[in-house]
A and B are shown apart, each in its own frame.
Chain A
Amino acid sequence: MEACSLKNSLKIFVDTFHKYSNISGNKDALNRREMKTLLNKEMPHFIKNSKDLKNVSHLFEELDTNQDADVDFKEFAVMIARVVMETHEKMHENAPPGQGHSHGPGLEGPVKGKCGQ
């Protein structure tokens, strides 16, 4: 796993977007098919547990605020922020009971086969 830093994550978001936006049509936007592939390949664990990501058509229409049938990077960035929000909520839902602030696993869900899980 790569070291966690803000910059590193920003780079991953931009590079991943381009990896799929480049496939066809507008090279700097995701069409419905590209979006679907991105979600399935890059967020296979999250789509299982995320309410937001489950329905691609619905998500796509919501994100495509300028309704040009493509999700541009700005619209994609809004989606990421929403997923970060949902991830944080899940981490609190899954947090071990007790006092103080703590997080459990996020949208990937608990790790199976580990001692204590």
Chain B
Amino acid sequence: MLELRSINSFYGDVQILFDVSLEIKEGEIVTILGSNGAGKTSVIKSICNLLPIGSGEIYYEGQRIDKIPPYKLINLGISLVPEGRRLFPDMSVYDNLRLGGYPLKDKKTLSDNLEWVMELFPRLKERSKQLAGTLSGGEQQMCAIARGLMIRPRMIIFDEPSLGLAPVIVDQIFEILTQIVHENHSTILLVEQNAQTALEISDRGYVLENGHIVLEGASKELLESPEIQKAYLGL
């Protein structure tokens, strides 16, 4: 469904990603692991063309997408739940969610989808009039995820959804992620540092180090692999 063919990305003259290739098949959950500064967010920004790639190719459903402007991606059914949530802080929760459905032409679809995400996160329904910037961290993350779901995306990219959240909320959020896949047959690209949980819910994983993919495989195998256990699972 999504394929990166040896992409190289730069911030100015500094190269950040080196020949990164990865593939995500329809219906899969794929996780990217890596320590701080490994380049995970840069991979995502490259996919979304927020960081135009220096070389390489990116395909989505057979179509080359590395040259199309970022605002058109959502029309292909790709949605991003970004690092640090990036809610519109001075807008209400409701307006944030409605903005997530910005490309939807049909009012009925918009209100159906609003109802659906509010069902997934009843907390947001209670707080729908509150300004997003005043939500708690966990609520903000729920709001960011709900906003990302508003178009019922076919492919959804999460950048560290569990960052800074209490374990209970992390479990809740991962549970909802798996539920979304099963209900909607969405495809998920998940960036995480919480390796244990991420590998448990995903099908395959890639390990990124200093901008290079150093390891890839089925999540089950990665969980068993000694390198991963040592570097990411603290075993």
The answer on A and B forming one complex is no
**Interfacial residues, chain A to chain B (CB-CB below 8 A):** none
Listed in ascending order, the chain B residues whose CB lies under 8 Å from chain A are none
